[in-house]
Amino acid sequence: MDSYNMKLTPEEIEILDGRRGETLQKALKSVVLYGETFGAKRLLPIDGSIHLVTSFGIPMLTPVFDIMDELIKENLRTKESFTVDPRPLDYENVKCNPLQKVVFRIMYGKQEMYEKQLKEVGLKDDNAFTCTCYLPEVGNTPKKGDILSWAESSAVVFANSVLGARSNRNSGVIELLCGIVGKVPEFGLLIDEGRKAKWLIQLKTSKLPNAQILGSAIGMKVMEDVPYIVGLDKHLGKGISDTTINYLKDMGAASASNGAVGLYHVENITPEAIDLGESLLVDDYKTYIIDDGELNRIYDSYPIMWKNPSQTPKKCFIGCPHLSLSQIYDWVERIEEAVKISGKSKVLIDTILSASPDVIQEFKKDKLALQRLNSMGVKLTYICPLMYMNNPLCAKEPIITNSNKLRTYTTARFYTDEIILSKITGLK
């Protein structure tokens, strides 16, 4: 066996010696070397299931497909079933022209084959494609203190911060190999010291900030460090509620995409902040004050990537990360009211709400609500909007969104919820 700096158990040594097969040996060796790169001294058993970030069948990912084939050949599956990020395509609800479809067929030409591979190595079910796997309708919801191996940035930051679970922001495929061996290297956000906050964020706004802009401001300032946020409970109240969960979901996604935040603490709200308070701050922490002016500065700094900034938007994506069930209902109410006030019968722009298949399935049980949504011309989809906009032909379209993550990674133009409503309904 090769020499490792990590403290290994007899079982791990046996696997690394190759006594349980070459494929399992390579999987564990990859996990061990990954951990040693970050100074991990041992492996920890994973609690519950995993979540994969790689959900799309891009032909150039040949090494990933080869790894999957080797795992399948040796009948190796993850210890528990897993969820995975959203599918890239939904022609029924996210319309494409013929030329765009040709490009998509090239881009995601291995999708059907790859989904079959995912099922054979442990995919939970056909609905398990979402970036919000932790929502109750999906069921991959870790508990406080659970050790995870996840890679999707918005899911990692939610699990760590709102649920109090522990996961590093791992690289794609590593989380799969960790799931196969059932263990993850102990470093970073898995240890107490790594969960300490290096930044104190003092919120001094006149009202509850837009979650996406607040998350953006925090992410761009602290980057990969852990922030401790004070003052948000003044607007959201103490503890966790459905409203707070939705807010923190979107704030965290923006902080993870506009920076690289994998964990934040919110005074009187998130579990570790409730338990430990300001003792979570390191001794030499830095301070960042966010007021109304700072949020306006952040908002005004976003570049406009459209060739013609005055173009009329062609599509509007709402839901990146995926919407919760209550958020879908909230958008139905808001759009319906705005359409009525503006004297229209339908939205003026192709408007698409994105949510997990399980959440959409639950919403569709409410026939009246579904009818209300359909009557306004609003569509529901399960795709990742980012995957749609990765198509260079789609990226040329003038698309608007209320997602800072989508704005960051694509040419989509970001607006607040209020402006989005006015643009899609004509509300003045």
SS3 148: coil
* DSSP structural state of residue 87: P
**How many Å apart are CA 198 and CA 251, to the nearest integer?**
19
Structure tokens at 293: 């002016």
Phi, psi at 253, each rounded to 5°: -60, -40
List the one residue out of 283, 277, 317, 309 whose CA is nearest residue 409. 317
Would you state the pLDDT for residue 2? 76
State the greatest distance between any 2 C-alpha atoms of the chain, in Å, as a whole number: 74
Preceding amide of 321 cis, omega within 30:
yes
**How many Å apart are CA 418 and CA 416, to the nearest integer?**
5
Query: In the chain, count of helices (H) and strands (E)?
Result: 19, 13
Q: Per-10-residue mean pLDDT for the chain, 428 residues long? A: 88 96 97 96 93 94 96 96 96 96 96 97 97 97 96 97 96 94 98 98 98 98 98 97 97 97 98 98 98 98 94 96 98 97 95 98 98 97 96 97 97 97 93
Burial class (CB in 10 A: 0-12, 13-18, 19+), 191: middle
**How many Å apart are CA 403 and CA 252, to the nearest integer?**
12
Would you state the pLDDT for residue 171? 86
Would you state the pLDDT for residue 159? 98
pTM of this prediction?
0.96
Residues 6+ positions from 102 with CB-CB distance below 8 Å? none
SS3 181: helix
Structure tokens at 379: 């569509």
SS3 31: helix
Would you state the pLDDT for residue 1? 61
Would you state the pLDDT for residue 49? 81
